[in-house]
């Protein structure tokens, strides 16, 4: 079907190319564009097969994944790339280098470079392929197959093999349908006051989006920023370092008891909830191993709830691209307490899931495009109220 999302699979293992290909073929809305055994062959095939999204291994002969990404950047190829590699499990620095070179997201192969149990990451992989492939097709003005069309093409695949938390049909719907009208906003307990903290919740599409926002922040912004980005444990320290290199403000991974200081951004650790609270007259962060909330740890809902409790009407809550609904409910608590709220708009979000739910609940005061998000955050944070 011409409207399906085409996938180029790049891996030096014939077994892995075959297993990944079977997952693509079994997924309604996806189709294989071609397969390549290294980055060089992939570059040769791209002009001919014109894929919508690329699955890329990092460890390959002749031209590895990092070298491919450098050449892709040099050739100004905009096709999104999902890293699927065993290096992702042991080399956070290399993985972050791949993201800094333009890769959109990453998944760890579960058991080494040749993972016969690759099916365990199937739901995660196909959700990313559908999300990034859909967004890329939208930017080109191409039609995207709808969920109903996809199920009609392959009704068996729509039900079988998708036993995890991800619904392929819902992802397809998420990327092609429009948000309904928002509910009536909740009543505010007090009027908004000066912004003393900015809290951001973000997930799928977040690494790219945060690079865009953080690179555009004003160097004189003094309001502390705390961020929950859904990311596995072991990667957020390198992720924070990579953001620090492009941001005029200081960026670091949050540690227990870190104070909230002007001009610094704290990134939640993978697999740790991040909350803010008071210690004497200072505001500090607290990390916890409490159970998952909204399916996540760290959870944007946990962060937003603590921000609302601690800062009341002195907070700005921002919810951005991401699958599911984490953060949508408690963003409303920030609003109720008199804080201000922003949500990323549908057009610029890789997955209009989290911001969509928040918007429909009436918890988003203003929808903002990705390229204007940094400006709105700075303007709100700097305005006296």
> Any idea which residues carry the catalytic annotation?
203, 230, 326
Cα separation of 150 and 203, whole Å?
A: 25
DSSP letters of 328-384? HHHHHHHHHTT-EEEEE-TTT-SSBSHHHHHHHTT--SEEE-HHHHHHHHHHHHHS-
- Residue at token pair 């989006």: 209
Which run of H or of E encompasses 209? helix 206-215
DSSP letters of 210-240? HHHHHHTS-TT--S-EEEEE---TTSHHHHH
* Long-range residue pairs from 167-171, CB within 8 A, at least 24 positions apart, any chain: 168/27, 168/28, 168/29, 168/126, 168/127, 168/130, 169/28, 171/127, 171/130, 171/131, 171/323, 171/351
Q: Is the distance from CB of 39 to CB of 65 less than 8 angstroms?
A: yes
Cα separation of 269 and 271, whole Å?
A: 6
269: left (phi over 0), alpha (psi -120 to 50) or beta: beta
Tokens standing for 96? 């972050």
DSSP-derived 3-state class of residue 181: coil
Cα separation of 55 and 73, whole Å?
A: 16
Sign of the CA dihedral with 148 first, then 154, 159, and 162 last: negative
User: Whose CA is closest to 335, among 357, 320, 318?
Assistant: 318
CB within 8 Å of 123: residues ≥ 6 apart: 162, 164, 165, 166
Radius of gyration of the chain (CA): 21
Cα separation of 72 and 207, whole Å?
A: 18
């Amino acid at each position: 079907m011409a409207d399906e999302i085409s996938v180029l699979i790049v891996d030096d293992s014939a077994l892995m190319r075959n297993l990944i290909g079977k997952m693509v073929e079994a997924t309604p809305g996806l189709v294989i564009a071609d397969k390549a055994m290294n980055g060089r062959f992939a570059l040769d095939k791209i002009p001919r097969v014109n894929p919508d999204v690329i699955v890329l291994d990092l460890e390959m002969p002749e031209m590895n994944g990092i070298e491919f990404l450098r050449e892709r950047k040099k050739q100004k190829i905009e096709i999104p790339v999902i890293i699927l590699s065993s290096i992702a499990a042991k080399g956070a620095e290399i993985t972050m280098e791949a993201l800094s070179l333009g890769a959109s997201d990453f998944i760890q192969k579960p058991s080494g470079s040749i993972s016969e149990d690759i099916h365990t990451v199937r739901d995660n992989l196909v959700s990313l392929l559908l999300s990034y492939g859909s967004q890329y097709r939208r930017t080109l003005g191409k039609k995207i197959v709808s969920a109903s069309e996809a199920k009609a093409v392959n009704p068996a695949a729509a039900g079988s093999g998708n036993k995890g938390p991800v619904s392929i049909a819902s992802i397809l719907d998420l990327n092609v349908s429009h948000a309904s009208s928002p509910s009536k906003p909740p009543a505010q307990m007090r009027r908004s006051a000066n912004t003393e903290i900015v809290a951001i919740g973000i997930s799928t599409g977040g690494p790219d989006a945060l690079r865009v926002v953080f690179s555009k922040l004003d160097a004189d912004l003094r309001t502390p920023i705390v961020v929950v980005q859904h990311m596995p444990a072991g990667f957020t320290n390198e992720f924070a370092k990579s953001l620090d290199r492009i941001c005029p403000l200081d960026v670091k991974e949050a540690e227990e008891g870190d104070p909230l200081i002007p001009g610094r951004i704290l990134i939640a650790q993978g697999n740790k909830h991040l909350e803010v609270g008071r210690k004497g007259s200072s505001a500090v962060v607290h990390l916890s191993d409490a159970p998952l909330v909204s399916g996540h740890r760290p959870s944007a809902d946990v962060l937003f709830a603590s921000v609302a409790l601690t800062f009341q009407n002195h907070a700005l809550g921002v919810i951005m691209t991401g699958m599911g609904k984490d953060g949508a409910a408690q963003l409303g608590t920030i609003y109720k307490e008199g804080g201000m709220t922003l949500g990323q708009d549908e057009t610029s979000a890789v997955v209009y899931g989290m911001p969509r739910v928040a918007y429909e609940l009436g918890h988003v005061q203003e929808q903002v495009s990705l390229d204007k998000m940094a400006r709105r955050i700075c303007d709100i944070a700097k305005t006296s109220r």
